[in-house]
Amino acid sequence: MDPISINLDLPIDSYSINISHGWQHLESAIKSYVGNKVMLVTDENVKELFVHDITSIISSMGCEVSLAVVPPGEASKSLKIAEALYTQALNAMLDRSSSIVALGGGVVGDLAGFVASTYMRGINFLQIPTTLLAQVDSSVGGKVAVNHPLAKNIIGSFYQPKSVYININTLDSLPQRQFSTGMAELIKYGFIWDKDFLGWLENNIDRLIKKEKNALAYAIDRCCRIKAEIVGQDEKEKGLRAILNFGHTIGHGLESISSYCLYTHGEAVALGMVYESLIALQKGLVDQSLVDLLINLLKAANLPTKITEIDVESLIQAMAHDKKNKSGSIVFILPIEYGKVDIFNDVEEELIYNVFQ
């Protein structure tokens, strides 16, 4: 395929999202931003797969590369791991003309971006996402963060990358569970923004699960364009951008009460979308057919759609710490029709309890 370039237009920090098969266009996408020294942040799994290629390309550009490897998994999104990365950056003598490159999934991107946003009050940051979840969602838009034991992503900032480079071929090495976790975010875009894309997903979900390259290229391109359009209108989540959190109010709560160990992020979001859609159904905002479509797509993507046992009281307490909340009210993003959602802060606790019965 020819490389695809999508512009994310912002008042100050506009940048391009580059989609390709392979690494042959990586140098042109990042050469203006890497500086003289680069800290390449990755995890132990990705290190074995792609670090050699990326290090060779960056080194060939005359850059000194320092490799920082963190444990895989959500537990690495912590202040303790961030502090270790600050120490490594200092030991590598990174300065304000240097850069931090994130090579990996959403955890690596969020963590590396948070460190880049705060090291010396901010140095250049580049994203090379290698998971489906990161490619369609977390690498685009500039949300960077680490977790607190009481709440996910509560310590963070808005800090845009200078460039995003997506190599679709990296998905070939992705374990099925991790691929499915990205499918949750991909499916989300159809429900929040694009009824036509939702129809396309109905007809092509099997092609995506088989990792057909043309289908993946189309879906990743569409998701990135939707997110670029939304973020371009509301970079700092003052209003519209909140709709990207469909499924995340309950999803983040589930991750928190299970200590980030039971579900992947996408699995938690999938469950969140189902139960938030059930809330919408009880409120009379949608009919059963929308809920059924969502459940069928998630099942086709090998994602969970039902929770058998849950302490709803603990979940509500966890959701009370959500960063979207306003004036003590839990904020939900609920579907109101096919391809459209809205923001609600008036959901009664009784409704929340009811959907988990």
Pick from 157, 212, 225: which is nearest to 186 by CA?
225
DSSP string of 46-96? Answer: HHHHHHHHHHHHHHHTT-EEEEEEE-SSGGGSSHHHHHHHHHHHHHTT--T
The DSSP element (H or E) to which 126 belongs, if any, is strand 124-129
Q: How many residues can be counted in the chain?
A: 357
Asked if 26 and 3 count as a contact pair (C-beta separation under 8 A), the reply is no
CA dihedral in degrees (117, 119, 125, 131; nearest 10)? -80
Pick from 85, 91, 27, 98: which is nearest to 56 by CA?
27
Q: Give the active site residues.
A: 121, 143, 185, 227, 237, 241, 245, 248, 252, 265
Q: Tell me the sheet residues that pair with 99.
A: 38, 124
Distance CA 212, CA 198 (A): 18
